[in-house]
Structure 1
Amino acid sequence: MLDVTSADSIIEFAKKLKGQTLREACGEEIEKHNYKGKGNFGQILEKFYFGYEPNSDAEPDFKEAGIELKSSPLKTLKNGEFRSKERLVLNIINYLEVHKEDFENSSFWKKNAHLLLVFYLHDKDLDLLDYLIKLVDGWQYPNEDLKIIKHDWETINQKIKDGKAHELSEGDTFYLGACTKGSTALKSYRDQPFNDEKAKQRAYSLKQGYVNHIIANIAQEETAVYGKIIEQPEILDVVESIEDIVISKFQPFYGKSAEQIEQELGLKLNQKAKSYFANLTNAILGLELGQKIEEFEKADIQVKTIRLKENNLPKEDISFPTFEYQELIETDWEDSDFKNILESKFFFVFYQFEGENLILRKVKFWNMSHSDILEAKSVWDKMKTTVSKGEIVKEVTDKGVRKTYFPKKTENRISHVRPHARNADDTYDLPIADELTGLTEFTKHCFWLNASYVKDEIYLS
């Protein structure tokens, strides 16, 4: 029998869902549901399994027990492990009220201190009533995570107090993000207290990497491949942030060559190996070679090692994963992979050539400014328009080289598009055949960050 005043009772009742679908768990009554929209799996779960009307109250769903119910989709990796399909969206940020709160009495903490998580396997070919529920459990934040989440909450709050709610970005923080919530339409813009400019509606969310960490814990997957930067959580009481801890580990090696760093750390690495710089970074951070950095994985931090020429210009532009042409034209900007990447937090490790030697110059945590993200959006916009019109190839040279209409480096200060494929035959399908050549597939391309932008806005700034 479900006792809604007892956390243990609620969690045990929820665990009966494991291995079932909503249709199996809730019976015929569920067929009458008329929920539409993105969150309807959760709404159906609330009404037909737990027996309460879905709401957007500031209180937790199970008020007496202090438990908030959240459901979230999973995907399965080739090795059979589960991963989160998306970030876990929590409550809406009330810009007009949150600046009056501190963390311990905040609406965020009152609602989300104890979560009941229901993870289901997403399958686009099935009705959502037939999604299989795979993992169910309660979640409370371990002490070391809570310190970082509190710092993240305070970072978001400070930006609102500074009149910059319209500039909030998921790259501002580590585990707890401020993700956009609602359509791109003007109706999803909100007033903010210290600036007349309206800000997009945002919600607190646990980043996808952090949700993966929760999933691994609930599924009790082996996590020995992870190494921690922060072994003693107490250090976060003394040091301002995790960023300071990481940077302080690198600073003693500034001005030293990669070889000198190896020697000082007692290493003998293969300098030709693709993993050379990743291994060196791990060693500096005090992790074993090949281990993933737990805090970076939880925070979805993109680690980039940059080799600078003597004039401070990176040797190469920075590539991102390839995009599928069909997906590009079907996705809007807010949900695009490119925006997601640009809103990430990055960790840059800069080495500079001095003759043959590579000298460690500095490391830097960085995320792109709001205005630069908007500037880079124009590259994405042009790319989407080009593909959707089928105007891909401008000309084919005498040597058979295809010149495209894709955005070039000279057209945008921040980004451009160019091939990122094994060869010309490594392709993705085109949604609309190319007008000039009639091609129905085209070489894989990706968005790149311009080397000059990395120099001016990241390395030298």
Structure 2
Amino acid sequence: MLDITSADSIIDFAKKLKGKSLKQACGEEIRNHGYKGKGNFGQILEKFYFGYEPNSDAEPDFKEAGIELKSSPLKVLKNGDFRSKERLVLNIINYLEVHKEDFENSSFWKKNAHLLLVFYLHDKDSSLLDYLIKLVGSWQYPNEDLKIIKHDWEIINQKIKNGKAHELSEGDTFYLGACTKGSTALKSYREQPFSKEKAKQRAYSLKQGYVNHIIANIAQEENANYGKIIEQPEILDLVPSIEEVVVSKFRPFYGKSSEQIEHELDLELNPTAKSYFANLTNAILGLKLGQKIKEFEKADIQVKTIRLKENNLPKEDISFPTFKYEELVKTDWEDADFKSILESKFFFVFYQFKEQSLILRKVKFWNMSQSDILEAKLVWDKMVKTVSKGEIIKEVTQQGKRKTYFPKKKENRISHVRPHARNASDTYKLPIADKYTGLTEYTKHCFWLNASYVKDEIFLK
């Protein structure tokens, strides 16, 4: 029997869902559930299993027990491990009220201090009533995470107090993000208290990497191949942020060559190995070679080692993962992988060529401004338009080289598109055959960050 005033009773009742679908757990009555939209798995779960009407109250779903119920989709990796399919969206940020709060009495903390999480296996070929529930567990933030989450909340709040709610980005913070909530239409824009400019509606969210950490914890599959930067959470009481902790570990090595750093850290690395700079970064941070940086994994931080020429221009543009043409044209901007990457927090490690050596110049945490994200979106827009019209190839030269309509580096200050494949025959399917050649698949491409942008907007600033 479910006792909604008891946390233990609610959690035990929820755990009976494991291994079942909504149909199996709730019975045939849910066939005519009547819910529509992205969150209807959760709404059906709330009404037909836990027996309460879905709502958007400021209080937790189980008020007396202080528990908030959340459901979230999983995907399965090739090795059988579960991973989160997306970030975990929490409550809406009320710009007009949140600036009056401090963390301990905030709407975020009141609602989300204790989460009950139901993870289900997403299957695009099945009805959501048949999605299998794979993991169920409760989550309360460990002290080391809570210190970082509190700091993240304060960063978001300070931006609102500064009249910059319209400039909020998920890349501003580590574990707790401010993700867009709602469409890009004008109706999803909200008033903010310290600026006349309207801001997109946003919600607090736990980043996908952090959700993966929760999943591993509930499944008791925490990867041993993680190393921590912060071994003692108390250190975060003494420094402004985790960012400062990281940067302070690198500062003593500024101006030194990679060989000197190796020597000082008593290392013998293979400089031709692909993992050379990753190993050097780990050693500077006090981690074992080959370990993943736990705090970076939880925060979805993208680590990029950049080699600069003597004129400060990066030796290469920065590539991102290849995109599938069919997925590109059927995904809107809000759900686009490229947008997600641009909104990430990056950690750049800059080395510069000096004669035969590479000198560590500096490290920097960075995330792209909202105005630059919108400028880069023009590249994405053109790609979607080009591929969806089947207008890929402009001409084929006498030497057989194909020239495309894809966005070139000179067209956009920030980004461009070019091949990222083993060879020309390493391809993805096209949604529409190319009009000029009739090709139904094309060489893999990806979005790139221009080297000149990295120099001007990241290294020199």
Quickly name the TM-score band, shorter chain normalised.
Answer: over 0.9
Greater alpha carbon shift after TM alignment, 372-381 vs 26-35: 26-35
Q: Which residue of 1 aligns with 2:54?
A: 54
1:92 maps to 92
Q: Does 1:215 align with 2:215?
A: yes
Q: Give the corresponding residue for 2:16.
A: 16
- For residues 341 and 264 of structure 1, the distance between their equivalents in structure 2, rounded to whole angstroms, comes to 35
- Distance in 1, Cα, partners of 2:429 & 2:79: 27
CA distance in 2, matches of 1:124, 1:404: 33
Q: Give the Cα–Cα distance (whole angstroms) in 1 for the partners of residues 128 and 15 of structure 2.
A: 19
Give the match for residue 328 of structure 1.
Answer: 328
Q: CA deviation at 1:388?
A: 1.0
Q: Are residue 293 (structure 1) and residue 302 (structure 2) matched?
A: no
1:222 Cα offset (Å): 3.7
Q: Secondary structure at the match of 1:104?
A: helix
Residues 175-190 of structure 1 correspond to what in structure 2 (within 5 A)? 175-190=175-190
SS at match of 2:338: helix
One-letter identity of the residue aligned with 1:375: E
Aligned equivalent of 1:79: 79
Q: State the match for 1:35 in structure 2.
A: 35
Paired residues of 2:69 and 2:115 also in contact (CA < 8 A)? yes
AA at the equivalent of 2:413: R
User: Which residue is equivalent to 2:400?
Assistant: 400
Partner amino acid, structure 2, of 1:224 = A
CA deviations 1:420-455 (Å, max 9, x no partner) are 000000001111111111111110000000000000
Partner of residue 191, structure 1? 191
1: CA distance, partners of 2:282 / 2:423 = 33
Question: Aligned-pair distance for 1:32?
Answer: 2.4
1:379 maps to: 379
Structure 2, unaligned runs of 5 or more: none
Question: 1:31 Cα shift?
Answer: 1.7
Counterpart AA for 1:117: L
Hey, what does 2:274 align to over in structure 1?
A: 274
Quote the residue 1:157 is aligned against: 157
SS of aligned partner of 1:17: coil
* Equivalent-residue separation in structure 1 for 2:222 and 2:103 (angstroms): 33
User: What whole-Å deviation, never above 9, does each CA across 1:185-233 have from its counterpart, x for those lacking one?
Assistant: 1111111111111111100000000000000000000421110000000
* Offset from partner CA, 1:94-117 (integer Å, 9 cap, x none): 001001100000000000000000
Between the aligned partners of 1:43 and 1:175, the Cα distance in structure 2 is: 26
CA RMSD of aligned residues (A): 0.6
What CA distance in whole angstroms lies between the structure 2 residues aligned with 1:229 and 1:123?
Answer: 37
2:236 paired residue number: 236
- Residue 106 of structure 2 is matched in structure 1 by 106
* Alpha-carbon separation, structure 2, partners of 1:437 and 1:31: 48
Instruction: Normalising by structure 2, report the TM-score.
Output: 0.99
Give the superposition deviation at 1:356. 1.2
Unaligned runs of 5+ residues in structure 1 are: none
| Equivalent residue number for residue 69 of structure 1 | 69
Question: CA separation in 1, counterparts of 2:255 and 2:294?
Answer: 27
Quick one: which amino acid aligns to residue 370 of structure 1?
Q
Pair 439,323 (structure 1): closer, same or farther in 2 beyond 3 Å = same
Quote the offset at 1:324 in angstroms: 0.8
Could you say which residue in structure 2 is the equivalent of 1:457?
A: 457
What residue number does 1:122 align with?
122
Q: Secondary structure at the match of 1:435?
A: coil
Q: C-alpha distance in 1, partners of 2:123/2:334?
A: 22
* Number of positions where the alignment pairs a residue of Structure 1 with one of Structure 2: 461
Using the TM superposition, give the Cα deviation of residue 335 of structure 1 relative to its aligned residue in structure 2, in angstroms: 0.8
In the alignment, which residue of structure 2 is the partner of 1:361? Answer: 361
The answer to whether the Cα contact below 8 Å between 2:213 and 2:222 also exists between their aligned partners in 1 is no
Give the SS at the match of 1:320: strand
Percent identity between matched residues is 87
Deviations 1:359-389 (A, max 9, x none): 0000000000111111111111111111111
Whole-Å separation in 1 of the counterparts to 2:296 and 2:317: 23
Q: Which runs of 4+ in 1 moved over 6 A?
A: none
**Deviation string for 1:272-297 (max 9, x for gaps)?**
11000000000000000010000000
> Which whole-Å CA distance do the structure 1 matches of 2:49 and 2:86 have between them?
24
CA distance in 2, matches of 1:377, 1:75: 27
Cα distance in 2, alignment partners of residues 229 and 327 from structure 1 = 37
